[in-house]
Amino acid sequence: MVFRTLIGLTYFIIVLILLIPVWCIEWIIGKSHPDAKDTSSLWLIQNIVFRPLLWIIGAHITVYGRENIPDNQPVVYMANHRSMLDCIVLYPLFKGLCGVVSKIEVKKIPFVKYWMDNLYCLYFDRSDMREGLKMILTGIEYLKKGVSICIMPEGTRSHTDEMLPFKEGSMKLATKSGCPIIPVAITGSADLFENHKPWFGPADITVTFGKPIDVKALSRDQQKNLGAHVRDVVGAMLDGGPGHMVEFGEVVKAE
């Protein structure tokens, strides 16, 4: 575990440094060809940073239900939260452009903020409700422009198998934009770090993407308590289900 951790951290730091000139090139491209910048930034982060890093630290990821994600349509991914590495696990699995909602402290990590801004990521400050509202409004703008958003509605990591309540405020990303919700259930991600920190360790992780939830098609009571409804859906998915297995980009039929 110690060796795996040292190699993983070394790889991450070296890649971030090497990507500094690349980010400058991306910034120049974005001035005249923003779509090309978006596409190349997404590819770099998914395939040069996150996929190799996950392999190095021992993440074995099985994915079900990725076919439930609509093609060429923005969605709001809503996932349970067990690990600080959940976003890294999920990001290579998204379809199309997607920004993630992260805590404000991430902005302080050198060089990371530049790439997160490139990818339409958002920052949530738990101590400032006004800034939280601005974050939601910005996310709605991104969704209307065709950029999906991933949020962990619990607001913080759960330290047990029991999910925390899903915050109703986060549901506004879907209700105000009109985009479908893709419920996401993650199991095993805490084994990557939290269960034996400070070391990274091998982990068998399962990610399940549920069928899209059309908020307008729900009953009045479900719409009124949307956070609780989505939480119930994610909870029902945590045992897994049939679908496709995706391991670092290679798609095979699950047994």
Is residue 25 situated within a structural domain?
Answer: no
pTM of the model: 0.89
Give the domain range for residue 176.
58-253
Question: Which CATH number goes with the domain that contains 237?
Answer: 3.40.1130.10
CA neighbor of 152 nearest in space, from 77, 74, 69? 77
DSSP 119: T
Is residue 96 situated within a structural domain?
Answer: yes
Q: Please report the pLDDT score of residue 242 as a whole number.
A: 43
Nearest-angstrom CA–CA distance, 65 and 39: 24
pLDDT in tens, 87-110: 999 999 999 999 999 888 887 777
- Burial-class residue 224 by CB neighbours within 10 Å (0-12, 13-18, 19+): exposed
Is residue 192 situated within a structural domain?
Answer: yes
Q: Please report the pLDDT score of residue 110 as a whole number.
A: 72
- pLDDT lower than 70: segments of the chain: 239-255
How many domains are there within the chain? 1
Q: Please report the pLDDT score of residue 150 as a whole number.
A: 96
Q: Please report the pLDDT score of residue 243 as a whole number.
A: 43
Is residue 11 situated within a structural domain?
Answer: no
